[in-house]
Structure 1
Amino acid sequence: MTTWYLEQTSAADLRPATSARAAAAGRAAEGPLIMRAETPSPEFSRFLYASVGQDIRWTDRLSMSWAEWERAVCRPEVETWVAYDRGTPAGYAELEAATDGSVEIVYFGLIPAFRGRGIGGPLLSEAVARAWDLGERREGFVPTKRVWLHTCSKDGPHAMDNYLRRGFRLYRTETAEEDEVATPGPWPDAGPLPYDGETAGRPVAGD
């Protein structure tokens, strides 16, 4: 497995995206609804984690108890930002601020059924923007000096391209052997239904 570490060292590094749907309609301001989950919820965070990571082998948090989830997501330095497509959660970003002024995008991704629909770019743009202004928005935090994340060869094929397009720069690469691990997703055999543009995002029956 190869792991890539990427960073921005100035808010000016961010290159925001416009959703594909908005661009096609000629409305640059329109896109997915992105909101902060201001009331931390272990249940909701676990749903997002399991659903987004179901096919890219996210496993490090699957065995955590409710109390461990509460400790992970209910800390003041952690924020969860969620993208909604017509009222349905489509993906999320989890931010964590450090005392040295760095903010890590700890988790980022889309539920499989919502990939390739112009949501990832706007969600990442919003997450990075909120990482950069976190110190200004939150009392007791220092101004953000650096935003960073890591991605790996287990992630989706468009993940790295999205990060680079938003202005991240590669600063470290690591390679290590890792066993293949199956992830159950939100439940065994979970997976996306096929979608088409004619039904405005509603599931349609497959052949």
Structure 2
Amino acid sequence: MSITVTTWSLEQTSPHDLRPAAEPGTDVRIVRAEVPSPEFSRYLYTAVGGDIRWTDRLGLTYAQWDEMLRRPGVETWVAYEKGTPAGYLELEAQGEGVVEIVYFGLIPAFRGRRIGGHLLAYGTARAWDLAERWPGLEPTKRVWLHTCSEDGPHAMDNYTRRGFGLFDTKVAEEPEVAMPGPWPGAAVGG
């Protein structure tokens, strides 16, 4: 059995494209996870993406996660609310001044609380100044990301409100997979 998934690719081509978001009304801090940790990265990935079909990294080994996190220009920025991880954003330099926001999202319990716009704006600003933290990288000329019809209902609106513009749309049939959630049964409210 398959499902139809629409994927939209969006971009900013100047740091002036970035539009700020309102600060969340609670104690939210955004911190870079500077020590590569496959365990923590996999936790964030499954906690954020478990209910929205993030499965592409589930088969990776510890060594593959570690290698991926240690590449120059890869950064993980984590939003914490009162000390609890609420969501994250992962950046990856792709050469020639291009930076992708590879993953972005919130743990379900933290969605709808104005944390996402704040995290996206902060993380996008970090994409624009990525070369300042990574000697040898070219200055950022373009920041891009993709979202799909399986992502949260407010994802596209958040991206456009932060100044991202659409540059590509694709529709594909994908196999339907059982969603793992961060633990067995979590994706079905169990």
> Normalising by structure 1, what TM-score?
0.86
1:112 paired with 2:116, answer no
Supply the AA of the counterpart residue of 2:131: G
1:37 — aligned with what? Answer: 33
Report 1 or 2 for greater relative contact order, CA contacts < 8 Å, sequence distance ≥ 6. Answer: 2
**Which residues of structure 2 form unaligned runs of 5+?**
none
Deviation at 1:190, TM superposition (A): 2.1
* Structure 2 CA distance for partners of 1:126 and 1:70, relative to 1, 3 Å: same
Q: The residue matched to 1:5 in structure 2 has which SS? A: strand
Aligned partner of 1:81 among 77, 80, 84: 77
Aligned-residue offset at 1:40: 0.9
Q: CA deviation at 1:192?
A: 10
Counterpart of 1:182 (choices 174, 178, 182) is 178
Query: 1:81 aligns to what SS in structure 2?
Result: strand
- The answer to whether the aligner puts 1:169 opposite 2:173 as a matched pair is no
Could you list the per-position Cα deviations for residues 108-150 of structure 1 after superposition, in whole angstroms to 9, with x for gaps in the alignment? 0000010011100000001100000011232111100000000
Q: Does 1:18 align with 2:11?
A: no
Question: Which one of 117, 140, 148 corresponds to residue 152 of structure 1?
Answer: 148
Flag as ranges the 4+ runs of structure 1 deviating above 6 A: none
The answer to whether the 8 A contact 1:135-1:142 is kept is yes
**Structure 1 vs Structure 2 CA RMSD:** 1.5
User: For 2:14 and 2:133, how far apart are their aligned partners in 1?
Assistant: 17
Please, what TM-score do these two structures have when normalized by structure 2?
A: 0.93
Stretches of structure 1 that go unaligned for 5 or more consecutive residues are 23-30, 194-207
2:7 matches 1:3: yes
Residues 16-42 of structure 1: CA distance to partner in whole angstroms, max 9, x if unpaired? 1013426xxxxxxxx520000011100
Structure (1 or 2) with the greater strand fraction: 2
Post-superposition offset of 1:46? 0.1
| One-letter amino acid matched to 2:80 | Y
- 8 Å contact 1:112–1:192 — kept in the other structure? no
Report the CA distance shift for 1:69/1:189 in structure 2 as closer, same or farther (over 3 A).
same
1:113 and 1:192 in contact (8 A); partners too: no
